[in-house]
Amino acid sequence: MDDMKTILDAAARQNLPLDLLFDGTEPGYAGRLLGTRRVADAEGLAIEVSSEGVPKVVSVARVRVVVDRVLHEFAVPVVRRTDDPLPVLLTTYPTEVHTVERRSQVRVAPTSAARLRVAVTAAGAWIPVELHNIGLGGAAFSSPDVGRFAVGHSVARIELTLDDGAPIVTSGTVRNVYTIRYPREVGPVYGIQWGKLSAADRARLTAHINARRPAAR
């Protein structure tokens, strides 16, 4: 599915989560594609931003979306912004969409048996957290007990337990901080990138991801 219109239609129709980066600055934001709109007398896009702290003025939005287990990316100039009640960016229509990576960037909803806990320091106590999604590249979690992390913050120890009960232990780095608005408000949510994984752990993650559908963040 590499046709640009097909990708955008699927993102809007399936209400797929977007990763957004504005004017090349961190941190990233979460959003969704509402569909096409008439913008400045031409076809454009309407992108709703669900994260807090959106800059008042945004010139360019870089958008990443996973469609059918393929990560796509495009950049679009922002024509104007509305707030109704969440920020909606009205942009031009993209001229091209790049395929960034296949399969490994897919995030899936955790099963009821999946568990995640973190230790902020190497000698710190384990803290159970709410697991929002799992991917081969990382996961997203939230908890009022872990304090505040910034993008680039290291998480010393992470333990992920999947359905087979055997824990995967590694470290992680915070790559994204955002707020989930629907169906309930949760935040801050931390998107982390796994540290070193053994070949066996990576194979287990791959099997777990491939057995489930991509999910919202």
101-123 pLDDT tens trace:
554 456 788 888 889 999 999 89
* CATH value of 107-210 in 2.90.10.10, 3.20.20.450, 2.40.10.220, 3.40.50.1220: 2.40.10.220
Burial class of 199 by CB neighbour count within 10 A (0 to 12, 13 to 18, 19+): exposed
The separation between CA 81 and the C-alpha centre of its own chain, rounded to angstroms, equals 22
Burial class of 14 by CB neighbour count within 10 A (0 to 12, 13 to 18, 19+): middle
Strands 186-194 vs 138-142: parallel, antiparallel or unpaired? antiparallel
Residue 163: partners with Cβ closer than 8 Å, 6 or more residues away: 111, 113, 114, 208
Burial class of 200 by CB neighbour count within 10 A (0 to 12, 13 to 18, 19+): exposed
154-196 pLDDT tens trace:
999 999 999 877 899 999 998 878 777 656 778 788 989 899 9
Q: Which top CATH class is 4-102? A: mainly beta
| pTM of the predicted model as reported, rounded to 2 decimal places | 0.55
